């Protein structure tokens, strides 16, 4: 699990794919650095690039980012080379803005202030499209919370949702992006020296884990105060603080512009990027929202994939050019161009192992059947049984976890490598299905419901879904990580009652599409999350950030009942 730290510390990146794109030479473009005033008196720094000789008013391709560095000019020049006024605007406090830096908190207002400024310029034709990845994807959605009439489309890839994908996932605070606040707020550009120090962050996490001190004091282990983490820790619910940053609930119904979302099966923040799409369609069934998703991670989705992904050889057809697709889409919406060829329907996904793209009108149409498997205590091939038949008894498996023990880490869920030769069968409860009688495609997000009775008031759960291939290797398909007390409502904590049978549903898992071969088996690993990479929930019912190893008490005793199940969406 050490690899989790290295991979995820990279956190959130900007759109970086330039590839073979032709950029304008200095003599071919005009570059302006401007300061844009917001309604509340703040200043936004922006780079504006226009191609010389293009005098008629043009549409604008805008990126709004917290990542102020040298790549920004390249990106603006690339947009200008495609026939747009290219603008990269920076979050307040970045670039030459004198204001305080405040990640996430002002984008709803500030992005729209930039759009207000754009349409008042003589070179603007009044149409703005936005694009970019991760934080830049978040800023696009922030803009739609109060949709500006001039914003005609957005192209978010691997877009973040503060409070859902980071700094916590399903209400569990993660350490993966711990250094990100320093990276983006230490200066007006980026603090690469601090951020790119994996030894510091790995050491901090391990020392915190072994010390047993409260999560709220993790920055004392590092020796440097982390005020943004402390601010975020005051909001363990997905409350009004987080909800104010992006559209929430019924606000999605007001988003009428076309949207192109680009995501990856192995994007660490996928539950954020897909939630935008799911909520958009939930509240606006007629939304013009398209999805392109394939075997990409957080970085790969922003450039169109790589031939090798964490040990997995990616299908050749999955490799696309995100930059080209972006500008094809902007041309389609803003300049009456042709619709991108890849977008044959609303949902466009690559089937791993089949080397083909499929195109359907909704996420629900990705599959035509659902397999239900029950977690039963009957032994099977050195594991327990993942049964296709509903159990007739009410038996249970007892799992005992010493939360004060620091000799073992629990819940090895992270898919790196994606394919493994072996798994540690002592780390969790393993449930194995019968071999598949024929090849079948898993398309979508697996869900489930756990029936459990515990002796404490809460627990953090991990569920990992593998394909045990016929050759004996394990393919990590998807996983769930979440806090039981938020399973039914992430906006409000509902503690468990010790000794009572509880129903714990889960649904915010990673979407995947893969051809499962004949003879393969499905494997579910059920576990409690206890490792250096996230908060440790000791189950007292107090704010988890305040719990310490002294709150561990006796072992966590869990009775997992045989009525627990998972549902796997498939195409037959």
- The domain segmentation of the chain, as residue ranges, is 2-304, 369-571
In this structure, the number of other CB atoms found within 10 A of the CB of residue 537 comes to 27
- Quick: pLDDT tens for 85-118: 999 999 999 999 999 999 999 999 999 999 999 9
Residues 6+ apart with CB under 8 A from 167: 173, 174, 177, 229, 232
DSSP-derived secondary structure for 448-501: EEEEEEESSS--EEEEEEEEE-TTS-EEEEEEEEEEGGGSS-TTS--PPPTTS-
**Is residue 363 within 8 Å of 278, Cβ to Cβ?**
yes
Distance of CA 227 to the CA centre of its chain: 23
Confidence grade of residue 18 (pLDDT, cut at 50, 70, 90): very low
According to the model, what pLDDT value does residue 570 have? 98
Cα Rg for the chain, rounded, in angstroms?
Answer: 24
Task: Check pLDDT > 80 for residue 422.
Answer: yes
Share of the chain above pLDDT 90, in %: 92
**Is residue 62 within 8 Å of 87, Cβ to Cβ?**
yes
Confidence grade of residue 9 (pLDDT, cut at 50, 70, 90): very low
Q: Out of 13-27, 407-421, 454-468, pick the least confident.
A: 13-27
**Predicted TM-score of the model (pTM):** 0.95
Task: Check pLDDT > 80 for residue 1.
Answer: no
Confidence grade of residue 324 (pLDDT, cut at 50, 70, 90): very high
Mean pLDDT of 271-298: 98
Half-sphere exposure of 295 (CA within 13 A, CB side): 30
Q: Omega into 295 within 30° of 0, i.e. cis?
A: no
More reliable by pLDDT, 7 or 547: 547
Long-range contacts, 538-544 (Cβ 8 Å, 24+): 538/403, 538/456, 539/403, 539/454, 539/456, 539/457, 539/458, 539/459, 540/456, 540/457, 540/458, 541/457, 541/458, 541/495, 543/236, 544/173, 544/215, 544/236, 544/458, 544/483
Q: Out of 6-10, 171-175, 504-508, 511-515, pick the least confident.
A: 6-10
The DSSP letter of residue 174 is B
Confidence grade of residue 236 (pLDDT, cut at 50, 70, 90): very high
Residue 168 β-bridge partners = 173
Nearest to 56 by CA among 17, 32, 84: 84
Find the length of the chain: 572
């293009």: which residue's tokens? Answer: 54
* 556/153 Cα distance (integer angstroms): 50
Q: At residue 121, what are phi and psi to the nearest 5 degrees?
A: -85, 145
**Is residue 473 within 8 Å of 227, Cβ to Cβ?**
no
| From the candidate CATH numbers 3.40.640.10, 2.60.120.260, 1.20.1560.10, 3.30.750.200, the one assigned to the domain spanning 369-571 | 2.60.120.260
Residue 27, exposed/middle/buried by CB under 10 A (0-12, 13-18, 19+)?
Answer: exposed
Task: Check pLDDT > 70 for residue 12.
Answer: no
According to the model, what pLDDT value does residue 6 have? 28
Mean pLDDT of 448-474: 98
Task: Check pLDDT > 70 for residue 83.
Answer: yes
- Quick: pLDDT tens for 244-277: 999 999 999 999 999 999 999 999 999 999 999 9
The DSSP letter of residue 304 is T
Residue 194, exposed/middle/buried by CB under 10 A (0-12, 13-18, 19+)?
Answer: middle
The encoded tokens of residue 300 equal: 């790969």
CA distances for 234 relative to 79, 227, 312, angstroms = 40, 11, 39
Distance of CA 265 to the CA centre of its chain: 10
């990992």: which residue's tokens? Answer: 464
* CATH 3.90.580.10, applies to 2-304: no
- Quick: pLDDT tens for 513-562: 999 999 999 999 999 999 999 999 999 999 999 999 999 999 999 999 99
Mean pLDDT of 457-472: 98
Confidence grade of residue 15 (pLDDT, cut at 50, 70, 90): very low
Mean pLDDT of 280-301: 98
Number of H helices, E strands in the chain: 12, 28
Mean pLDDT of 49-59: 90
For the chain, what is the mean pLDDT?
A: 95
According to the model, what pLDDT value does residue 22 have? 63
* 405/403 Cα distance (integer angstroms): 6
According to the model, what pLDDT value does residue 253 have? 98
CA distances for 552 relative to 128, 335, 484, angstroms = 54, 61, 17
Triad 217, 222, 223: Cα angle to 5°: 90
Task: Check pLDDT > 60 for residue 20.
Answer: no
- Quick: pLDDT tens for 372-382: 999 999 998 88
């Amino acid at each position: 699990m050490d690899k989790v730290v290295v991979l995820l510390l990279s956190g959130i990146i900007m759109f970086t794919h330039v590839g073979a794109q032709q950029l304008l030479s200095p003599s071919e473009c005009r570059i302006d650095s401007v300061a844009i005033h917001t309604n509340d008196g703040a200043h936004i720094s922006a780079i504006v690039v226009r191609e010389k000789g293009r005098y008629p008013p043009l549409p604008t391709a805008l990126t709004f980012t917290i990542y102020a560095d040298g790549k920004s000019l390249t990106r603006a020049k690339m947009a200008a080379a495609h026939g747009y006024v290219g603008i990269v605007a920076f979050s307040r406090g970045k670039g030459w803005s004198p204001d305080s830096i405040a990640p996430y908190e002002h984008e709803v207002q500030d992005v729209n202030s930039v759009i207000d400024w754009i349409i008042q310029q003589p070179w603007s034709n009044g149409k703005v499209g936005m694009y970019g990845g991760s934080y830049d994807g978040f800023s696009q959605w922030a803009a739609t919370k109060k949709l500006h009439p001039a914003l005609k489309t957005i192209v978010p890839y691997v877009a973040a949702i503060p409070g859902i994908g980071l700094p916590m996932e399903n209400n569990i605070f993660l350490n993966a992006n711990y250094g990100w606040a320093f990276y983006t707020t230490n200066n007006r550009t980026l603090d690469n020296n601090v951020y790119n120090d994996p030894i510091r962050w790995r050491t901090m996490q391990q020392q915190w884990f072994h010390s047993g001190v409260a999560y709220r004091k993790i920055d004392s282990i590092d020796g440097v105060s982390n005020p943004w983490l402390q601010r975020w820790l005051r909001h363990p619910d997905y409350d009004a603080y987080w909800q104010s940053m992006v559209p929430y609930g019924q606000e999605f119904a007001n988003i009428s512009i076309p949207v192109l979302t680009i995501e990856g099966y192995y994007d660490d923040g996928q539950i954020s990027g897909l939630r935008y799409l799911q909520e958009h369609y939930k509240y606006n069934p007629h939304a013009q929202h398209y999805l392109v998703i394939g075997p990409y991670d957080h970085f790969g989705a922003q450039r169109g994939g790589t031939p090798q992904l964490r040990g997995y050889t990616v299908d050749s057809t999955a490799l696309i050019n995100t930059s080209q697709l972006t500008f094809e889409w902007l041309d389609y919406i803003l300049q009456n161009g042709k619709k991108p060829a890849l977008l044959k329907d609303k949902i466009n996904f690559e089937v791993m192992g089949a080397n083909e793209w499929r195109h359907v009108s909704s996420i629900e149409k990705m599959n035509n059947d659902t397999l239900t498997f029950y977690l039963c205590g009957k032994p099977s091939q050195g594991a327990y049984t993942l049964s296709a038949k509903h159990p007739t008894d009410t038996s249970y498996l007892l799992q005992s976890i010493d939360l004060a023990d620091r000799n073992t880490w629990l819940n090895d869920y992270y898919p790196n490598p994606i394919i493994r030769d072996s798994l540690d069968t002592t780390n969790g409860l393993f449930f194995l299905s019968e071999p598949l009688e024929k090849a079948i495609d898993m398309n979508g997000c697996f869900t489930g419901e756990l029936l459990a009775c515990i002796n404490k008031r809460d627990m953090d759960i991990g569920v990992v879904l593998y394909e045990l291939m016929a050759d004996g290797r394990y393919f990590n398909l998807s996983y769930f990580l979440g806090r039981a007390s938020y399973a039914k409502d992430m906006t409000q904590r509902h503690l468990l009652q010790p000794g009572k049978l509880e129903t714990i549903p889960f649904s915010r898992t990673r979407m995947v599409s893969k051809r499962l071969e004949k003879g393969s088996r499905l494997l579910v690993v059920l576990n409690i999350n206890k490792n250096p990479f996230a908060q440790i929930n000791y189950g007292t019912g107090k704010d988890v950030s305040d719990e310490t190893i002294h709150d561990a008490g006796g072992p966590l005793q869990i009775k997992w009942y045989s009525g627990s199940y998972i549902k796997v969406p498939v195409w037959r």
